[in-house]
Amino acid sequence: MADEGNNIITDLNLGGDPQPNGADTLPAAGIIQQYVKDLSVEAPNAPDSFQWQDPPQIDVQFNIGARELEGTGGEVSEVELKISINSKCQAGTAFIIDLSYCGLIGMRNMEDQHKHAFTYAEAPRILFPFARNVVANAVRDAGFPPLLLEPIDFNGIYMQQIAAQAEAGEAGEAPAGQA
């Protein structure tokens, strides 16, 4: 019976060199860290703006940027979701919010096209609900009702950008800017 136990250990190679199990070669991606890099909240016409009765015109702009971090072998990138909001009424500007919300994204064993898609479509989708919460709290803390941004289809926007770049490439034009 003791010999049978030894054979099992030898067969599993528990005492010898470790055998690769594929975990080191499988594609992997995920969020390492999230943080507010920059937040600016302005209420230039307060306290007068708290009395305005006309409905505000809300202008929301967003941009996605990314950069690989040095010393990580291309496995860690910072993805930056910039959101700019300007609320104007007939009497003037009620508030301005500028947020730069970032995430450190780890990606390993991925092809460049998949890294690009994760960086500019999936990572912003993951970061957005947290950025949305920061915006709502910032607007509320500025003395206004919380502003809940509508969900954004980052994947759809990414696909539109890729299609536009492909069309521009076929037409010989310079590609459009990033999402």
**Which neighbouring-strand residues pair with 28?**
108
> Can you tell me the mean pLDDT for 95-124?
94
Structural domain boundaries, residue 139? 29-147
If you average pLDDT over every residue of the chain, what do you get? 85
Residue 116: inside a domain = yes
- Give me the residue label for tokens 């199990």: 21
118 φ/ψ angles, rounded to the nearest 5 degrees: -65, -40
Highest mean pLDDT among 6-10, 31-35, 170-174: 31-35
- Give me the residue label for tokens 């507010």: 36
Residue 127: inside a domain = yes
Q: How many domains does the chain have?
A: 1
pLDDT at 13: 41
| pTM of the entire predicted model | 0.78
> Can you tell me the mean pLDDT for 72-83?
93
Residue 35: inside a domain = yes
Taken in order 170, 176, 178, 179, is the CA torsion positive or negative? negative
Residue 152: inside a domain = no
pLDDT at 21: 54
Does residue 62 register a pLDDT over 70? yes
Helix (H, G, I), strand (E, B) or coil at 165: helix
% residues pLDDT > 70 (the chain) = 82
Residue 79: inside a domain = yes
% residues pLDDT > 90 (the chain) = 69
CATH code of the domain covering residue 111 = 3.10.420.10
Q: Of 84, 97, 90, which is closest to residue 55 (Cα–Cα)?
A: 90
Instruction: Give the tens place of pLDDT for each residue, 114-168.
Output: 999 999 999 999 999 999 999 999 999 999 999 999 999 999 999 999 999 888 8
Residue 136: inside a domain = yes
Does residue 85 register a pLDDT over 50? yes
pLDDT at 23: 57
Residue 40: inside a domain = yes
In this structure, the number of other CB atoms found within 10 A of the CB of residue 164 comes to: 14
Residue 135: inside a domain = yes
